[in-house]
Amino acid sequence: MREIKLSGRERVVIRAIGFAVGVTGQELLEATRIEPDQLVDILNAMLSSGLVESVPYAETTSLETYLTTHFETNPSFSNELKHAIGRGRDRDRLR
């Protein structure tokens, strides 16, 4: 298991996407209030690392397409992502 380290903005995006049904780029823009060009850069970094997936599938997104694209966290990394955004801290204290 690799340890995932996220920047503050990446954490905000992962929290906005969630771990259940995902969100559209428009919903991400409204929830995060991150500038569109910066949001696209963050999404592209997470798409290329495999932490986030897009529907329809694409290796990258753009300012023209991200608003209507659906983004989901990759279920293969859900435990690591939860830990990286702080949701796994309570569990670690119990050990």
Q: What is residue 62's predicted lDDT score, i.e. its pLDDT?
A: 97
Q: What is residue 1's predicted lDDT score, i.e. its pLDDT?
A: 58
Residue 62, Cβ neighbours under 10 Å: how many? 11
Q: What is residue 90's predicted lDDT score, i.e. its pLDDT?
A: 47
Q: What is residue 47's predicted lDDT score, i.e. its pLDDT?
A: 98
Alpha carbons 66 and 46: distance in angstroms, whole number: 13
Alpha carbons 31 and 18: distance in angstroms, whole number: 12
Options 3.10.530, 1.10.10, 1.10.238, 3.40.50; which CATH number does 8-87 get? Answer: 1.10.10
Task: Give me the residues of the chain with pLDDT under 50, please.
Answer: 90-95
Q: What is residue 24's predicted lDDT score, i.e. its pLDDT?
A: 97
Task: Give the 3-state secondary structure of the chain.
Answer: CCCCCCCHHHHHHHHHHCCCCCEEHHHHHHHHCCCHHHHHHHHHHHHHHCCEEEECCCCCCCCCCHHHCEEEECHHHHHHHHHHCCCCHHHHHHC
pTM of the model: 0.87
